[in-house]
């Protein structure tokens, strides 16, 4: 009789674990998505927790307002307002900005920021090597 009760207890806990697993998979996952912070608050929380900090947190708060006044192009890394995407500055002062002309769009260019011993000549050599 004792063996019957232990077996029944074991099977009921096993069944509960199985159904709880499916409940978590279908019900709880939806609740977790609703609890996530959205937009700028999520990004600020990421930076505060040790994410890639390209600028001080207080400056990030100033630029992450719902509406940034810019009538031209807002650079994604620096949030600078410039005439064209190729005019965006590099995120760090130590970086050197290199422009790689676009083969399709004659007025366009790709911006690459390099740092250290590398300069734009090295980037141009790599661009020519891989564009063949």
pTM of this structure? 0.43
Locate 10 and state its tokens: 């074991």
> What phi and psi values does residue 9 have, to the nearest 5 degrees?
-65, -45
Question: Distance (Å, rounded) from C-alpha 30 to C-alpha 3?
Answer: 40
Residue ranges with strand state E in the chain = 73-74, 81-82, 96-101, 109-114
Percentage of the residues of the chain whose pLDDT score is greater than 70: 51
Q: How far apart are the first and last CA of the chain?
A: 81
- The 10s digit of each residue's pLDDT in 68-98 is 688 888 888 888 899 988 899 999 989 999 9
Cβ–Cβ under 8 Å, residues 89 and 112: no
pLDDT band at residue 61, thresholds of 50, 70 and 90? very low
- Other Cβ atoms closer than 10 A to 5: 9
Residue 62 has pLDDT above 60, yes or no: no
Residue 8 has pLDDT above 80, yes or no: no
Cβ–Cβ under 8 Å, residues 87 and 97: no
């Amino acid at each position: 009789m004792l063996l019957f009760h232990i077996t029944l207890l074991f099977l009921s806990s096993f069944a509960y674990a199985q159904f709880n697993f499916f409940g978590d998979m279908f019900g709880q996952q939806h609740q977790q998505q609703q609890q996530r912070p959205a937009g700028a608050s999520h990004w600020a929380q990421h930076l505060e927790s040790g994410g890639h900090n390209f600028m001080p947190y207080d400056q990030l708060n100033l630029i992450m307002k719902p509406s940034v006044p810019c009538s031209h192009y807002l650079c994604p890394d620096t949030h600078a307002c410039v005439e064209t995407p190729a005019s965006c500055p590099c995120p760090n002062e130590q970086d050197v900005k290199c422009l790689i002309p676009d083969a399709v769009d004659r007025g366009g260019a790709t911006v690459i920021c390099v740092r250290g011993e590398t300069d734009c000549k090295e980037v141009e050599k790599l661009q020519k090597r891989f564009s063949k």
